[in-house]
Structure 1
């Protein structure tokens, strides 16, 4: 029997859209705190919020987008949100005070959260069900590339030019994303009777999905551990006299993630979830332990490889599990719920770990991160692995 076709024009355009959209996120997330300090003399708390307020907006948007996505239309919402992203990227240049900057960050975050939920949901209608893990893994390579290129450009552009060039780069990426929105063709999702009946019922059950939250709870913990590397690794590496190792960590992370995604999704589709999930968890744990106990150039780069294979593979695998666990009519809400908790880990986790840092130091903090991933394994076993993580094809709702 012939395999269902995966590499269609719309799937490829979707990957391009995901890449350019994610580039905007990582370009600005790594540099906005520095900009707030340089331009407005912001204190540490305000500078931190200048970066994380974007995530606040994204979280708010995800809660409502999952419910109303199919009423608005997936392609229409993508076009609207990417147009807003273009305008917001340019508006940073004219922000005259810190309050306006923070407002723009929240608005931009809302646009990103809504648009990202839309494309993460819509791409699942393009990927054949029999190749869900494989397709989601390939689609996620765009996010992986952005985690390496975005922070790199976010540091280089302000240093070599100025922050205005950074905002122009963000606007340029947003324009490319907008072009992709016009090129992609997405199947129209029929609105179910349940969705029509509950359209204006803003109850918890209509805004979030239980299965999305169950799987998302795993990513809340694992995402917090990875966010610690995003936020604290540069300073930690500098403390140990290997400042350049931080940038090489993210390069190694990206390369390992890209390599793993060439086969991990296919293995998940063939052998089931547990066969893939447990090895990538182990790799993530070992990578964090290496960061804690071997903070040398070699140790940090090797940790990047292991965490790239681990956390880099975990996210698309968990997203595929989420989608397979719910009926298609619930995919938008489930996807939004999944990324809601991932965003929470990325935005709130570093704040909590930042309070621990003075007491534990970097070594102790990364051991805590390894412990968080161990807890994530227990959560995964409880919510999915012990009941529905085995042989594919028999365990999911359709």
Structure 2
């Protein structure tokens, strides 16, 4: 029996658009705080607002985009969001105050939140149902690659050629997201199926209930992931392996790429539980190895284990969120999942910063390894036991 085709032109283009979106995000994520400190003589808290304001506006805009996706055309939402995102990228050349930059970050975050929500909904429609786990795994890989390349490109540009060149590069990459998004074609069924009447105001207009439980699990574990994003390079300096700190996410991505052809297929064949529990254990072991690292070898081995663990968990969780929702609710489910996930990232960055002031990073990452295992318990009660209890109640009612 022939498998339905996954690698269509539209799937490739929407994955490229997602790659360029996140590449722009990561280029600016690592460089704008540096720019604010150097250009405007800002303090650390003002520089940190460059990221906070962006993430908050993205979180707020996602449920609104999800509601729009449910009511109207996926393509229109995507193009509107990509135009806002590209236009905001052009504006970084003009402000000469921190306040001006924060206003642009606010606008840029709106475009980013809407665009990533629309992209997630569109790719869910493009992937054949029987290959959704595999397809989402490959799609999320575009985000992982951007996470590796973005900081490298951004830091190289601002250090070697200056901020203006860095801003030009971000505009070019954002334009790439818009161009590839324009080329995606959706069937008329996809474009019209969401024309439904929705009440003027309801909490369900902004949150998809079926996605909340898995989103909470994802957001819970994202708190640990934020500790890596924000502080792993600082930790590398602490244990005297700064010469290989830039390779951490490179190794992470390589192991992820090597595992993706298998993990996505296993998800489709055997279901999420077979993937999630081993991945959580690998994630925890990777954090433990990182906490005990005393040299470059163990530091990079931990990167590979974390890449295999967390790198498998994130697309699996997003796939669960989409599969639990009705087809016309996929956009809202994507928005719900990503919003709660981003809250976990933002909360984690704040909490880890506070905790790190009280203890060294080795101790922090050691504690994180046990925290991750609590995530396995949370997943069991939110995704394994809870659905089973609902099924048992349904069977009892049916028997009566």
TM-score, normalization by structure 1: 0.93
Q: Distance in 1 between matches of 2:296 and 2:75?
A: 45
Counting only pairs closer than 5 Å after superposition, residues 174-193 of structure 1 correspond to structure 2 as: 174-187=174-187, 188-191=190-193
Give how far 1:58 is off. Answer: 0.6
Structure 1 pair 368–163 and aligned structure 2 pair: CA distance change class (3 A): farther
Structure 1 pair 209–224 and aligned structure 2 pair: CA distance change class (3 A): same
Structure 2 residue runs of 5 or longer lacking an equivalent are 389-400
Counting only pairs closer than 5 Å after superposition, residues 201-216 of structure 1 correspond to structure 2 as: 201=201, 203-216=202-215
Residue in 2 aligned with 1:396? none
Q: Distance in 1 between matches of 2:22 and 2:344?
A: 17
Residue in 1 aligned with 2:346? 347
Give how far 1:185 is off. Answer: 0.7
Give how far 1:10 is off. Answer: 0.6
Q: Distance in 1 between matches of 2:369 and 2:281?
A: 10
RMSD value, Cα: 1.5
Residue in 1 aligned with 2:74? 74
Give how far 1:190 is off. Answer: 3.9
The residue matched to 2:325 in structure 1 has which SS?
coil
Residue in 2 aligned with 1:161? 161
Structure 1 pair 209–71 and aligned structure 2 pair: CA distance change class (3 A): closer
Do 1:221 and 1:375's aligned partners in 2 also have CA atoms closer than 8 Å? no
Q: Distance in 1 between matches of 2:386 and 2:3?
A: 28
The runs of at least 4 aligned residues of structure 1 exceeding 3 Å deviation read: 189-193, 386-389
Do 1:37 and 1:47's aligned partners in 2 also have CA atoms closer than 8 Å? yes
The residue matched to 1:4 in structure 2 has which SS?
coil
Do 1:211 and 1:322's aligned partners in 2 also have CA atoms closer than 8 Å? yes
Q: Distance in 1 between matches of 2:103 and 2:139?
A: 31
Q: Distance in 1 between matches of 2:191 and 2:317?
A: 23
Structure 1 residue runs of 5 or longer lacking an equivalent are 390-398
Structure 1 pair 145–73 and aligned structure 2 pair: CA distance change class (3 A): same
Q: Could you give the per-residue CA deviations for residues 287-334 of structure 1, whole angstroms, max 9, x where no partner exists?
A: 111121114211111111011111111111111111111111211111
Q: Could you give the per-residue CA deviations for residues 173-205 of structure 1, whole angstroms, max 9, x where no partner exists?
A: 111111112111123244568x5132x21x322
Q: Could you give the per-residue CA deviations for residues 252-278 of structure 1, whole angstroms, max 9, x where no partner exists?
A: 111111112121110011111111111
Residue in 2 aligned with 1:258? 257
How many residue pairs are counted as aligned between the two chains?
A: 386
2:370 is equivalent to residue 371 of structure 1? yes
Q: Could you give the per-residue CA deviations for residues 79-112 of structure 1, whole angstroms, max 9, x where no partner exists?
A: 2222222221121121110001011111101100
Do 1:215 and 1:380's aligned partners in 2 also have CA atoms closer than 8 Å? yes
Q: Could you give the per-residue CA deviations for residues 132-178 of structure 1, whole angstroms, max 9, x where no partner exists?
A: 10111111111110110011112111111111111111111111111
Q: Distance in 1 between matches of 2:217 and 2:192?
A: 30
Structure 1 pair 233–281 and aligned structure 2 pair: CA distance change class (3 A): same
The residue matched to 2:340 in structure 1 has which SS?
helix
Give how far 1:31 is off. Answer: 1.6
